[in-house]
Structure 1
């Protein structure tokens, strides 16, 4: 195992400052978001990859706290089928780290042509997505060199939290402004638990990563990171979907990684899932969930208290750290996974 610090690890450490800069930039745009909100009733998210996982967070957040129906688009309806859909009253939110993925830009343009108003969320200032959107929420993550998205992902989540506030969610802006400090606390705590989980994952061929509600997005993104950088067959599933059959694959060689906010309506179910996994003789590793989840798991990474609606911004950080450490333990370069580039073009 190499001890050289990876670019991915350095960029993980940059997230508190990236979040602060992003919030400073985007919170003043809430009146523009509110104006779009007055013209629309529901939200359509357009994204792929990590950005799609961010969109899952946005969908739960808006439906739970702003009273708006939010759904994920199928870009091929626009780019492959060329279908015409009535999107009057829809706010189409396109999310792309670079702002240059043609499929996402083209699908947002299609949505506008179908009657939608548009928001672009991207780290790519002066990108095609930025120029085409009615309102551009440009994150301030700085240049991200490692292929696995870290700081661009968490700043996307912050942008979605600003979007929710702008669309009238009954939530506290002050809580959002406290997130960078909470992420600093995650990064400053001893890494023993993350190291131990990474060690335990050496040699396994697969893992199930599960969360529910707001934390479902974290499960999806954590699984994607393990697949990208560690070549692990990781499945990201909600608690409910896991119980509909896939839990059968969890065993001593296929551990479960479970994630939850320290409080909220999905915590008890996540703890029950951990107890079921360990009772079956399989390892269970927790991220967040307070003392309740830690007590039900073999190993757990603690999290500072964040409101459930903001917890995913903090919860993904230990998963990023575990991924980076596991990749290096396996002898892989987490900065440049095989077969992947920074911008993926699809159609």
Structure 2
């Protein structure tokens, strides 16, 4: 029986094409709204927060604007007013109905920020209605609790945002993403070997750096919520500052990297260190170098680093779905979770 999660993973190329077709023509709207701003503030929770990490690295690395992640409790619990003049506040919510995120975006606007919503909830969602500009993704209804197509289309919307901020990237790279994702779904690499390597363990360290850090966080979240693993998502820089002590023969590492970029060699070196200590290192992406240094590997996309996270997460999604079934868990309906999470 095909799970809803597996079906929705397969829908991602079409969802990405539809989203890019809708949003790329709106780059000038982003540029106009952002003209008088100097920095960005990302507002999100959960999977959307991981997407925001991608947005932060992308904007700082390629658009040259300082970016940060909001603490929504400053708005909703402490009710503290800040000076957000010159700030572009970007709120992400797949449903567009998470009250805390809507409230925080309204607060940001009242504090002087220009506001953008990124949501799959449509133009009529509360988040879209609250924003100066709504970038609505076109992933379609997502029925499985673990987000897949709504996450990758969020990344696509953030890539469009970067274009509107005049990022030093090739806009044509975006059009290559849906085909690259389609190829990864057809050939994700040695999923079975990685599933067997994780089937009996209680925990795993998931690590990447830079633009791939968002993928490491999202992969760890998926393994936690759908496979009930104690999955720790870390930058490999932070991992080396102590937590690497937990990596051993009972706690493997899942290491993520694009096939190019300044963080690749550090990820390869980390894989060699892990396997040299007698533990298992499973690679995602990183080309032949990371695959050779790893115990087993999943494929990555043939994409430039700035758009690679839209492809890198796909093998991790397929791994999560397969591992959940291997562990006797229904990945569509993890215990204790709902599709829309409300926080105060």
- TM-score with structure 1 length normalisation? 0.98
Q: Indicate the SS of the match to 1:44.
A: strand
Other-structure match for 2:162: 164
Following superposition of structure 1 onto structure 2, how do residues 115-194 of structure 1 map, counting pairs within 5 Å? Answer: 115-125=112-122, 126-189=124-187, 193-194=190-191
TM-superposed deviation, 1:197:
0.5
Q: 3-state DSSP class of the match of 1:39?
A: coil
Which digits, 9 at most, give the CA deviation of each residue in 1:29-79, with x for residues without a partner? Answer: 111100111121000000000000000000000000001000000000000
Query: How do residues 253-268 of structure 1 correspond to structure 2 at under 5 angstroms?
Result: 253-268=250-265
TM-superposed CA distance for 1:99, in Å, is: 0.2
Structure 2: 5+ residue stretches without partners: none
Long gaps (5+) in structure 1:
none
Aligned with residue 303 of structure 1, among 296, 300, 303: 300
1:45 match:
42
* Distance apart, 1:173 and its partner CA: 1.3
After TM superposition, the structure 1 = structure 2 runs for residues 250-289 of structure 1, keeping only pairs within 5 Å, are 250-289=247-286
Residue 96 of structure 1 pairs with residue 80 of structure 2: no
Distance in 2 (CA, whole Å) between partners of 1:342 and 1:304 is: 28
Q: Which residue of 225, 229, 232 corresponds with 2:226?
A: 229
Q: Counterpart of 1:178 in 2: which secondary structure?
A: helix
Q: 1:6 aligns with which of 3, 7, 10?
A: 3
Does 1:22 pair with 2:19?
A: yes
- Kindly state the Cα deviation for residue 194 of structure 1 after the two structures are TM-superposed: 1.1
The alignment yields a C-alpha RMSD, in angstroms, of 0.7
Deviations along 1:93-123, one digit per CA (max 9) or x if unpaired, are: 0000000000000000000000000000000
Per-residue CA distance 1:272-305 (angstroms, 9 max, x = gap): 0000000110000000000110010010112231
Question: Offset of 1:192 from its aligned partner?
Answer: 5.5
1:322 has 2:319 as partner: yes
Q: Distance in 2 between matches of 1:242 and 1:41?
A: 32
Match of 1:74 among 71, 83, 94: 71
Q: State the TM-score, normalized to the length of structure 2.
A: 0.99
Distance 1:303 1:81 in 2: 42
Q: Does residue 1:247 correspond to 2:247, yes or no? A: no
**How far apart in 2 are the matches of 1:303 and 1:167?**
27
Does 2:109 align with 1:112?
yes
Q: Does the CA-based 8 Å contact 2:89-2:108 persist in structure 1? A: yes
Distance of aligned partners of 1:316 and 1:46 in 2 relative to their CA distance in 1, 3 Å threshold: same
Counterpart residue number, 2:197: 200
Distance between the aligned counterparts of 1:306 and 1:27, measured in 2? 18
Segment drifting more, 196-205 vs 225-234: 196-205
Give the distance between the partners of 2:228 and 2:51, measured in 1 at CA: 21
**1:171 positional shift:** 1.1
Cα deviation, residue 309, structure 1? 0.5
